[in-house]
């Protein structure tokens, strides 16, 4: 992993940010409720409250200054999305949409993709599962990319069941 590239994860309470963080880092421990910012190697894990309560948006903006990429997580098993439309356009870091829990029988992957398209007007969307490992390698590689064009080129090599570019 390129040392200078780092990503922040944001998404609703229980969307799977900490579980994904552990899976991306190869840490085989269960996630516990995130209470504050957690810095681990090239990942900054945030509490779901940061995006669920607009009072904390300033924390998201401040933390974004420290990273190159932002992962916007949408839980495939949840109907609702907590991101305001176009939320990523207010953050000048490379956006990556992430559908979580694609392994679940309750997952509606297409709905989750549609929700993320409203958050990220342009960028990759990765369909992941921390249980099966789908999409993990693709996220690691996207965070190594240094521009939107580089991410777009990378996505061309990946099956569209795993990553699409919008
Ligand atoms: N089926 C399935 N469940 C998952 C997956 N990832 C996370 N979960 C479950 O979702 C629940 C919440 O996971 P967390 O990783 O703690 O969620 P979080 O986004 O960090 O939540 P906060 O820290 O409260 O903001 C846990 O019960 C996980 O086991 C996945 O890929 N598949
Ligand atoms: Mg957490």
Say if residue 1's pLDDT is above 60.
Answer: no
Asked if the structure places residue 2 within a domain, the reply is no
pLDDT of residue 3: 57
- Find the domain containing 135 and state its range: 7-165
| Closest-lying ligand 1 atom to the alpha carbon of residue 11 | 19
pLDDT tens readout for residues 85-138? 999 999 999 999 999 999 999 999 999 999 999 999 999 999 999 999 999 999
Asked if the structure places residue 1 within a domain, the reply is no
Cβ neighbors of 2 (< 8 A, separation 6 or more) are: 144
Asked if the structure places residue 55 within a domain, the reply is yes
Cα(152) to centroid of ligand 1, in Å? 28
pLDDT of residue 32: 93
**Cβ(135) to ligand 1 under 6 A?**
no
pLDDT tens readout for residues 135-157? 999 999 999 999 999 999 999 99
95 SS3 class:
strand
Asked if the structure places residue 77 within a domain, the reply is yes
**Is 74 within 8 Å of 135 (Cβ atoms)?**
no
CATH of the domain at 48: 3.40.50.300
Q: Give nearest CA residue, ligand 1 atom 21.
A: 14
What is the pTM assigned to this prediction?
0.97
Q: Which tokens is 14 given?
A: 């229980």
pLDDT tens readout for residues 2-53? 458 999 999 999 999 999 999 999 999 999 999 999 999 999 999 999 999 9
Q: Which tokens is 133 given?
A: 């490992």
**Cβ(18) to ligand 1 under 6 A?**
yes
Asked if the structure places residue 33 within a domain, the reply is yes
Give the C-alpha distances (Å, rounded to integers) separating 85 from 51, 67, 121, 144.
13, 22, 9, 27
Q: How many independent structural domains does the chain possess?
A: 1
Q: Which tokens is 124 given?
A: 């990759």
Distant-in-sequence contacts of 145-149, Cβ < 8 A, 24+ apart: 145/94, 146/5, 146/68, 147/94, 148/94, 148/122, 148/123
**Cβ(48) to ligand 1 under 6 A?**
yes
Measured CA angle at 40 (ends 34, 41), to 5 deg: 165
**Cβ(17) to ligand 1 under 6 A?**
yes
pLDDT of residue 2: 47
């Amino acid at each position: 992993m390129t040392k200078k590239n780092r990503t922040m994860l944001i998404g609703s309470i229980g969307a799977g940010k900490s579980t994904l963080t552990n899976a991306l880092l190869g840490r085989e421990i269960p996630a516990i409720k995130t209470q504050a910012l957690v810095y681990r190697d090239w990942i900054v894990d945030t509490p779901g409250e940061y995006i669920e309560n607009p009072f904390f948006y300033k924390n998201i903006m401040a933390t974004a200054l420290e990273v190159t990429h932002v992962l916007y997580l949408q839980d495939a098993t949840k109907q609702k999305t907590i991101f305001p439309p176009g939320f990523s356009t207010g953050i000048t870091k490379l956006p990556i949409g992430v559908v979580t829990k694609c392994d679940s029988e309750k997952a509606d992957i297409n709905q989750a993709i549609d929700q993320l398209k409203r958050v990220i007007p342009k960028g990759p969307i990765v369909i992941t599962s921390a249980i099966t490992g789908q999409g993990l390698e693709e996220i690691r590689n996207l965070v190594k990319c240094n521009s939107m064009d580089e991410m777009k080129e990378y996505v061309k090599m990946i099956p569209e069941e795993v990553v699409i570019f919008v």
